[in-house]
Amino acid sequence: MNAMKIENLVRDYGGGKGVFDVSFHVDQGEAFGFLGPNGAGKTTTIRHLMGFLKPKSGSCTINGLDCWRERDKVQARLGYIPGEISFFEGISGAEFLKFIAQYRGIGSQTRKEDLLERFELDPKSKIKKMSKGMKQKLGIVAAFMHDPDILILDEPTSGLDPLMQNRFIDLVAEEKKQGKTILMSSHMFEEVERTCDRIGIIRTGRMVAVDAAAALRERHTRSYTVTLENESAAEAFAADFNGVRDGLKVTVTTKQSLEEIFMNYYGGEKHDEHGAV
Ligand SMILES: Nc1ncnc2c1ncn2[C@@H]1O[C@H](COP(=O)(O)OP(=O)(O)OP(=O)(O)O)[C@@H](O)[C@H]1O
């Protein structure tokens, strides 16, 4: 079943900016990586899913609920990390989490404590005195502490150091195992590769690829056939490059890494009909 569905979404900011006819879905229990260069339209799409923006045309639904018309119900069951975290700067992190817990109607402190420990965050200081990384951690704790079934994460690891990025990836992997549905925008190829089942790539407001991570890699393979001068050279070449030998001919197949695939999409190089670049 589709947990999230974006159909022909349009928001035109003028000057070619915005999102144009964006469609994709995220199945229940699936982790979907949403990738694209700066200004491609990731946050705009996500803000429609959160019900912060009304689609000019097209629609977004979460568990069958319209994200704009039924936004209160939609937001109540989500965990959300915004692209740019802006809190009430005058209060402490602890006060902020208490406020969120009350809003969400959370009684138990266990999960909150667990998350604070995991991300080594002391929430006592005032938010305005926190570093960017600390604020991001606070956003993560606030998004995950009510144990939501659906997580919408807009560049969740921005500002985190590599150790904390890894902890976050572990957290997402655990959530996925428990059957949570996750949409995660990111610029970090590794975190997407390690956590997501399917990947969508957006560029200048349009989806340019939506596919399973494995299928994307499969489509982006290159084969080279080389003819060697003699049998022993062919044998040695096949062994060195893991090639398939047919007499003096050796065929070597190389797969691109996800990072290479993304860079091709980001850079906008032309793709042939097989998706090879
Ligand atoms: N309220 C707005 N008015 C006009 N243009 C806007 C508005 N919000 C976003 N845009 C433009 O729409 C485009 C998409 O922005 P968006 O924030 O969705 O990109 P993004 O993919 O999240 O980028 P990033 O990776 O930099 O966060 C950008 O060109 C941006 O400048």
**SS3 annotation, the chain:** CEEEEEEEEEEEEECCEEEEEEEEEEECCCEEEEECCCCCCHHHHHHHHCCCCCCCEEEEEECCEECCCCHHHHHHCEEEECCCCCCCCCCEHHHHHHHHHHHHCCCCCHHHHHHHHHCCCCCCCEHHHCCHHHHHHHHHHHHHCCCCCEEEEECCCCCCCHHHHHHHHHHHHHHHHCCCEEEEEECCHHHHHHHCCEEEEEECCEEEEEEEHHHHHHHCEEEEEEECCCHHHHHHHHHHHCCEEECCEEEEEEECCHHHHHHHHHHCCCCCCCCCC
Which CATH number goes with the domain that contains 43? 3.40.50.300
Instruction: Report the separation in Å between the CA atom of 43 and the middle of ligand 1, taken as the mean of its atom positions.
Output: 7
Q: What is the ipTM of this complex?
A: 0.96
Instruction: Report the separation in Å between the CA atom of 162 and the middle of ligand 1, taken as the mean of its atom positions.
Output: 27
Q: Is residue 113 part of a domain?
A: no
Q: Is residue 228 part of a domain?
A: yes
Domain with 227, as residue range(s), is 221-255
pLDDT of residue 196: 92
Instruction: Express each pLDDT in 188-241 by its tens digit.
Output: 777 888 899 999 999 999 998 898 877 777 777 778 899 999 999 999 999 998
Q: What is the mean pLDDT of residues 148-160?
A: 94
Closest-lying ligand 1 atom to the alpha carbon of residue 19: 14
Phi-psi region of 147 (alpha: psi -120 to 50; beta: other; left: phi over 0): left
pLDDT of residue 273: 37
The pocket around ligand 1, CB under 6 angstroms, is made up of: 13, 17-18, 36, 38-44, 83
Q: Is the pLDDT of residue 92 over 70?
A: yes
Q: Which residue's alpha carbon is at the smallest distance from atom 8 of ligand 1?
A: 44
Q: Is residue 98 part of a domain?
A: no
Q: In whole numbers, what is the pLDDT of the chain averaged over residues?
A: 89
Ligand 1 pocket test, pick from 6, 11, 13, 52 with the greatest ligand atom count within 8 Å of Cβ, gives: 13
Instruction: Report the separation in Å between the CA atom of 3 and the middle of ligand 1, taken as the mean of its atom positions.
Output: 25
Instruction: Report the separation in Å between the CA atom of 153 and the middle of ligand 1, taken as the mean of its atom positions.
Output: 16
Q: Is residue 96 part of a domain?
A: no
Tokens (6 digits) for 274: 């097989």
pLDDT of residue 268: 57
For the ranges 42-56, 169-183, 255-269, the lowest mean pLDDT is seen at: 255-269
Residues 22 and 61 in one domain: yes
pLDDT of residue 270: 43
- Report which of residues 27 and 264 the model is more confident about: 27
| CA Rg value for the chain | 22
Residues 154 and 250 in one domain: no
- Report the alpha-carbon distance of residue 192 to residue 32 in Å, rounded: 8
Q: What is the mean pLDDT of residues 53-57?
A: 95
Q: Is residue 66 part of a domain?
A: yes
Q: Which residue's alpha carbon is at the smallest distance from atom 1 of ligand 1?
A: 13
Q: Is residue 19 part of a domain?
A: yes
Q: Is residue 181 part of a domain?
A: yes
**Which of 192, 216, 240 is the endpoint of a domain?**
216
Percent of the chain whose predicted confidence (pLDDT) is above 90: 68
Number of domains present in the structure of the chain: 2
Residues 17 and 35 in one domain: yes
Q: Which residue's alpha carbon is at the smallest distance from atom 17 of ligand 1?
A: 43
Residues 14 and 73 in one domain: yes
Q: Which residues contact 160 (CB under 8 A, 6 or more apart)?
A: 133, 136, 137, 168
Instruction: Report the separation in Å between the CA atom of 39 and the middle of ligand 1, taken as the mean of its atom positions.
Output: 5
Q: Is residue 94 part of a domain?
A: no
124 and 96 in contact (C-beta within 8 Å)? no
Q: What is the mean pLDDT of residues 64-78?
A: 93
